Amino acid sequence: MTRPPQDWDIHRLGIVSTHLAGTDGLSLEAEKWAYILRERGFTCFYFAGELDRLKDIYYKRPIVVIAYAIYLKDIKPKGFDVNELYGDVIPAAVAEARDELSDPERRREMTESNDPLGRQSFSCAP
């Protein structure tokens, strides 16, 4: 097995699925693992075609979303700062999202701009 380079932060990981929304088995299982991993010091990011993880706004975590109909209609117009992927997810788009999420200042900008929008639009308040 190849070991990651020494400068990699191996405590950040993405949970990837076409659908992470609602209370279906896959979404609940993914949330259970994210909870367990966060308890052990990991930072989890969600990558999904359909994503209803508004709690990421509440917990001030950055979001990557593959643009889907409900997102485009109901969430995007609110002005949230997210990484958006469209159509076929190509390596260049994934690399751009990874680079942006690897930048602590950029992550802070995203989460700080999303916090007031979440409070105003979706009652995402502590």
- Residue-wise pLDDT tens digits, 10-69: 677 777 777 777 777 777 888 788 888 888 888 777 777 676 656 667 677 777 777 777
Q: How many domains does the chain have?
A: 1
What integer pLDDT is reported at residue 27 of this predicted model?
A: 78
Q: Is residue 52 part of a domain?
A: yes
Mean pLDDT on 70-85: 82
Query: 47 with 100: CB under 8 angstroms?
Result: no
Q: Is residue 7 part of a domain?
A: no
For 101, residues 6+ apart whose C-beta sits below 8 A from its C-beta are 12, 45, 62, 64, 83, 107
Q: Is residue 1 part of a domain?
A: no
Q: Is residue 5 part of a domain?
A: no
For 79, residues 6+ apart whose C-beta sits below 8 A from its C-beta are 117
Q: Which domain holds residue 47?
A: 12-122
Q: Is residue 46 part of a domain?
A: yes
Query: 17 with 30: CB under 8 angstroms?
Result: yes
Q: Is residue 60 part of a domain?
A: yes
What integer pLDDT is reported at residue 1 of this predicted model?
A: 54
Mean pLDDT on 82-110: 81
Mean pLDDT on 73-82: 84
**Residue 123 reports pLDDT greater than 70:** no
For 24, residues 6+ apart whose C-beta sits below 8 A from its C-beta are none
